[in-house]
Chains A and B, each alone.
Chain A
Amino acid sequence: MSQPMKRNELVLGNKTLKDITDDICAPVERFPSKGWMALFVSAKTLFLFYILTIAMVVSTGIGLLGVNHPVAWGTMIITFVFWVGIGHAGTLISAILFLFRQKWRTSVARSAEAMTVFAVATAGIFPLIHTGRPWLDFWLFPYPNQRGPLWVNFRSPLLWDVFAISTYATVSTVFWFVGLIPDFATLKDRAKNKIRRTVYGALSLGWRGTAKNWSHYEMVYLILAGLSTPLVLSVHTIVSFDFAVSNLPGWHTTIFPPYFVAGAIFSGFAMVITLMSLIRIGWPTFKDYITIDHMEVMNKIIMMTGLMVGYAYGSEFLIAWYSGNIYEQYVFFVSRAFGPYAWSYWIMICCNVVIPQLFWFKKFRRSIPVMFVVSIFVNIGMWFERFVITVTSLHRDFLPSNWGQYAWSMYDTAILVGSFGMFFTIFLLYLRVFPAISIAEMKPVMNVGKDEEGGH
């Protein structure tokens, strides 16, 4: 029989099982490096600034931001959709690629999923503040009350969103935590002092790793992957319903759900590339696990989803023309591409459609500096996509008497920039205290300890 096609090794450097544990646990067990400290202090300062901004917005009022008639959805909603979208790549990697048995996902799944959890946490704050009176946000949930009882409106996409986002946050956190349990047990058993042992022992929930436990564990992992897959698709679908269910030209289109999901995966993978590039720089030992091959595969996904997003942009024009609806045609052919916010439209096109075309070339797909820069551009472009959708559709609707601009204020900038402080603070802390690659999942994809034929 001829030799089957040989794939590149998923993990470089002929590691033994012990090497894997040592390598992955090392960043958690040593004193943080200067680089980490510098990043953490910067991120934390930004986070404190963010908390201060939120305090001012909440105590003074949402009017500090540029939201007003007619653009009543501004930075809060744009940045909310942006961060939720970021989260989607994590679930795609951890759940969908798991179902497709893509073994390369293993070394990036843990951190990508951490990114999901933290991005959704960052996102979740925005609609809560956007309500204007965040101390009454518990009204979003249906509970028996003394106001009638006055129930929430189950026919509103905004309420669907409450359910979608809170379910998504819960299930991804649980999925992530279930994956972490065996690794916490590893960290507990390696602990040199009592405090570490106690803390990681508590986090591991007393995991023992018997064959029976593993059998159930693998089943639950599969089930959670199977549940997360439709869930992640539903979440951005429902986020897009926030727009698509209204009848505003530019929002009221049936392409929104797949378009939003593709965009979410696109932006999420860009963020994964950004973070993984930084992890590779910060912890050179992880280069054996998160190899250039891994990065290349993700860049291919970025390019593919980027093309899907570009196709959606084009298709919106086609449908606007084909619909014969003058308001629809005005939004796409006049207002977006050539109106007062044309600059944001063209930033979006450049960042999301033009720049990722670099990835047609293998050389660029495998170059860390190139992919890092491209990923930043994609992140910027995807924020602007949401800006274009939200602001340019609202600022000019049916009646010219109802037209206006979005009064961008310094608080808009502060709250957008500050949210990165929150995200990076949590992510950097995670890198310090949790194993950033799944130890228990890495070992089965290796070829050590098996007999000569690679089997058992």
Chain B
Amino acid sequence: MAKKRSIGGTAGIFLKESTVLKAAAKVRESGFIKFDAITPYPVHGMEEACGIKRSWIPYVTFTAGCAGLLAALGLVYYTSVIDWPINVGGKPMFSLPAFIPIMFELTVLFAALSSVGALFYICGMPKIDPPVIDKDLTCHKFAIFIPENDVGYNAERVEKLMKDLGADEVKKVAEY
């Protein structure tokens, strides 16, 4: 996913959300597995239609959050207990309640930045000048793209399938 090389294929352009959603489900039923839908906004139900598994980013978030918590604990423990202990009113050196704000903030910071980092990694971002199938796909049109290396790919068959599913236009895509 992340380091996917550009590949040619066929794209069907659709004008209605409900059409593209039904089409995506049908394309999947026809046996294609590497296709993807391109939409200007997250379409409700598209994950089910395309058979996309639940995102694994929450695991990154949790791990990074734990790392942040431990990093913060390590930092405050090393600096305030080991390296530069200061006796304030006879209170314990390892005064955990006073360290909680730092631990909380670093947990959130690590978790948030890592989640966004994971998103960028999965989506292959940042990417300079990515191929664009149609300029209206970020505005009001929808597309289903089937790469030429997909199972049972055949240009004529795909074109006919797209037409049957109600595509407004079928495009040959040199690289995507």
Contact = CB atoms under 8 A, between A and B. Distances in A.
Given A151-B80, A201-B129, A223-B61, A212 B16 contact: no
A129 to B, nearest CB: 23
Contact of A220 (B21, B79, B115): B115
Interface in B1-44: 1, 16-18, 21-22, 24, 36-44
A157 B108 CA distance: 18
A207 B76 CA distance: 39
A219 B57 contact: yes
B17 A234 contact: no
Interface stretch (A322-330, A395-403, A436-444): A436-444
Interface residues of A, number: 68
A430 B20 CA distance: 34
B13 to A, nearest CB: 14
A154 B126 contact: no
Contact of A215 (B16, B47, B99, B135): B47
A138 B124 CA distance: 34
Given A440-B42, A449-B18, A211 B101 contact: no
Contacts of A228: 112
Given A170-B113, A449-B17, A214 B39 contact: yes
Interface residues of B, number: 69
A234 B101 contact: yes
Interface in A132-159: 142, 148-155, 157, 159
B154 interface: no
B17 A171 contact: no
A154 B24 contact: no
A224 B57 CA distance: 11
Nearest to B20: A449
Given A163-B106, A205-B120, A18 B140 contact: yes
B149 interface: no
A154 B97 CA distance: 11
Interface string A210-222: 1111111111100
Contacts of B136: 189
Given A21-B139, A223-B61, A210 B84 contact: no
28 contacts: A148-B84, A151-B79, A152-B79, A154-B79, A154-B80, A155-B98, A163-B101, A163-B102, A170-B109, A171-B108, A182-B40, A206-B129, A211-B24, A211-B43, A211-B52, A212-B122, A214-B39, A216-B55, A218-B55, A219-B58, A223-B57, A223-B61, A227-B61, A439-B41, A441-B41, A448-B17, A449-B18, A456-B22
